């Protein structure tokens, strides 16, 4: 492995290696020296796991107006109209850029686009361009090869950011971002990374829940670091639970794509009874929040461990062509989806809130940007429309890149090294694993798909106890990757619960038994850090 000195300087520091981070790096690298830090290897991110595809108006049968309306409808009144229009109007150029990079999207000669377009829940048209059922992997693999080959991009694998270096922390009156401290989890050394511009692209925070479709790396790092640096966060109560995660003891976090329902998959109870039409007239094609709540309701009503998604009425050839990854993964677990239904349960999937940004990806802190799932751009509102997430990554990565390239670069200033003079090695690391398990369990029990004020208050009480314990641990012992992730998860959990307690209504992904009605006036929940 390449060894790096403890003090590093780059024009741009990108924290995270998902679609937002890699595309941003490539758009900057011809004119800037860029560093990309990633907690594991380059191809370990939520973007890689994305199956369905990218929503964009590509067909002559579709329109920007319809995509905008579908997004706003799914967002339950909380979408920012300017952000929605900006993203959707820039969707086709984003897809064209990916095609130019060589992404192997699935083709279909019988369409006016030349590509197969899928339809997913909440969409009024077929507009999901995809690479079979492994779109994220295809996109990330293509971009990763270009990142590795670019002479102006330095990849720092197995580095986890600890905290941002800001003017406030250095004692300056002007609070801007100067870079970050990062831990090399293989050598346990901390590097000081100076940068003119820093980008938070770490993904969401779904690992705060016991059951999630996300990889282990999705621990709210960017949201927590941004908050500690003084950035506002918005709408953290809106956690999207994907309706259909594979339910199997040997399948960890395996998603059954929304496209399975889009291609005719039917949700059933164990006795074969369909139930979605009783919950929404759109049945299986209703938005994710409605489908997830319906499944949760049926499971609790009938005392079930799971429900079933049946697409066995489609031919083996169709399933292997459209869902090769899902078909082979299920078959390896003894489930032949051409003959039997797939056992599924809802699982935490996507963080609709995050660090508040503008349409350039800029945060409240000068020289700090946030892109992708880490950011709250206003696109998603109270619920994300399927396959708008990778699109958001692309559009705002491009917007941030253009803003960075158009802005003058400040001078580097001397930054202090990470100070470990007052800490020792931890003596009982079991505390970290125990607290991690406790947090994820009570977040699942108390802050899940259906909430009550009492449950939220219980979660808040437990979070405060964990917060105190972890802060004491952080202050006295050498940092480790596990400790840093737990520290970020506990803070992110606190932001989720605070936001949920502020919302005295049910809207989109936030459903409260104490406040089941939706207020006439939609308003975002914005939290501001105290000094």
pLDDT digit string, tens, across residues 199-216: 999 999 999 998 888 888
Question: What is the per-residue pLDDT for 427?
Answer: 67
3-class secondary structure for 320-333? HHHCHHHHHHHHHC
User: CA-CA distance, 499 to 189, in Å (whole number)?
Assistant: 36
pLDDT digit string, tens, across residues 478-521: 899 999 999 999 999 999 999 999 999 999 999 999 999 999 99
Question: What is the per-residue pLDDT for 35?
Answer: 98
**Annotated catalytic residue, options 288, 384, 455, 462:** 288
Provide the 10 A C-beta neighbour count for residue 252.
Answer: 12
Q: Which of 319, 384, 380, 321 lies closest to 121, judged by CA?
A: 384
DSSP structure class, residue 185: T
Structure tokens at 463: 């979070």
329 is catalytic: no
User: CA-CA distance, 241 to 211, in Å (whole number)?
Assistant: 10
User: CA-CA distance, 493 to 243, in Å (whole number)?
Assistant: 21
Contact (CB, 8 A) for 263 and 117: no
Question: What is the per-residue pLDDT for 424?
Answer: 80
Question: What is the per-residue pLDDT for 3?
Answer: 55
Question: What is the per-residue pLDDT for 409?
Answer: 87
Structure tokens at 292: 């997830």
Integer CA distances (angstroms), 433 to 69, 189, 197, 278, 464, in order: 44, 22, 34, 42, 17
Question: What is the per-residue pLDDT for 440?
Answer: 93
Alpha helices in 229-373 (DSSP H): 258-262, 288-302, 316-322, 324-332
Question: What is the per-residue pLDDT for 49?
Answer: 66
Residues of the chain with pLDDT under 70: 1-5, 46-47, 49-50, 426-428, 531
Phi, psi angle pair for 394, to nearest 5°: -65, -50
Q: Which domains does the chain have, with CATH numbers?
A: 7-237+352-406 (3.50.50.60), 242-347 (3.90.700.10), 430-515 (1.20.58.100)
* Residues paired with 351 in a beta bridge: 239
Q: Is 526 helix (H, G, I), strand (E, B) or coil?
A: strand
């Amino acid at each position: 492995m390449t060894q790096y000195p403890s003090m590093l300087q780059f024009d741009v520091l990108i924290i995270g290696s998902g679609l937002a981070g890699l595309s941003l790096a490539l758009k900057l690298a011809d004119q800037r020296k860029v560093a990309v830090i990633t907690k594991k290897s380059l191809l370990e991110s939520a973007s890689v796991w994305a199956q369905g595809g990218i929503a964009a108006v590509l067909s002559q049968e579709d329109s920007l107006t319809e995509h905008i309306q579908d997004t706003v409808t799914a967002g339950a009144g909380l979408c920012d109209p300017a952000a929605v229009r900006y993203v959707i109007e820039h969707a086709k150029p984003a897809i064209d850029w990916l095609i130019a990079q060589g992404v192997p999207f699935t083709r279909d000669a019988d369409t006016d686009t030349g590509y197969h377009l899928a339809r997913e829940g909440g969409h009024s048209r077929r507009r999901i361009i995809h690479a079979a059922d492994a779109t994220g992997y295809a996109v990330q693999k293509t971009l990763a090869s270009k990142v590795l080959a670019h002479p102006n991009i330095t990849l720092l694998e197995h580095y986890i950011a600890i905290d941002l270096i800001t003017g406030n922390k250095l004692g300056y009156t002007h609070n801007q971002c100067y870079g970050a401290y990062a831990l090399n989890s293989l050598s346990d050394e901390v590097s000081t990374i100076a940068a003119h511009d820093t980008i938070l692209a770490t993904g969401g925070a779904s690992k705060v829940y016991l059951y999630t479709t996300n990889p282990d790396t999705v621990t709210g790092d960017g949201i927590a670091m941004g908050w500690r640096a003084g950035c506002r966060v918005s709408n953290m109560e809106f956690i999207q639970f994907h309706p259909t995660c594979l339910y199997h003891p040997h399948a960890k976090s395996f998603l059954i794509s929304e496209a399975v329902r889009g291609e005719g998959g039917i949700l059933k109870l164990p006795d074969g009874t369909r139930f979605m039409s009783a919950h929404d007239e759109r049945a299986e094609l209703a938005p994710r929040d409605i489908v997830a709540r319906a499944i949760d309701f049926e499971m609790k009503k009938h005392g079930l461990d799971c429900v079933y998604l049946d697409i066995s009425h489609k031919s083996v050839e169709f399933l292997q062509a459209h869902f090769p990854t899902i078909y082979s993964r299920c078959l390896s677990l003894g489930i032949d989806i051409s003959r039997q239904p797939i056992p599924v349960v809802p699982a935490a999937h996507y963080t609709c809130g995050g660090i508040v940004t503008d349409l350039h990806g800029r945060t409240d802190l000068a020289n700090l940007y946030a892109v992708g799932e880490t950011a709250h751009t206003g696109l998603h509102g109270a619920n994300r429309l399927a396959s708008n997430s990778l699109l958001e990554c692309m559009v705002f990565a491009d917007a941030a890149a253009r803003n960075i390239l158009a802005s003058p670069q400040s001078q580097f200033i001397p930054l202090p090294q990470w100070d470990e003079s007052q800490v020792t090695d931890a003596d009982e690391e079991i505390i970290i694993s125990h607290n991690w398990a406790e947090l994820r369990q009570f977040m699942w029990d108390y802050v899940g798909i259906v909430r009550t004020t009492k449950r939220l208050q219980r979660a808040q009480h437990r979070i405060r106890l964990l917060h105190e314990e972890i802060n004491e641990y952080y202050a006295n012992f050498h940092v480790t990757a596990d400790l840093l992730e737990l520290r970020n998860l506990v803070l992110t959990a606190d932001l989720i619960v605070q936001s949920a307690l502020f919302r005295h209504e049910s809207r989109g992904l936030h459903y409260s038994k104490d406040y089941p009605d939706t207020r006439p006036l939609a308003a975002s929940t914005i939290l501001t850090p105290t000094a």
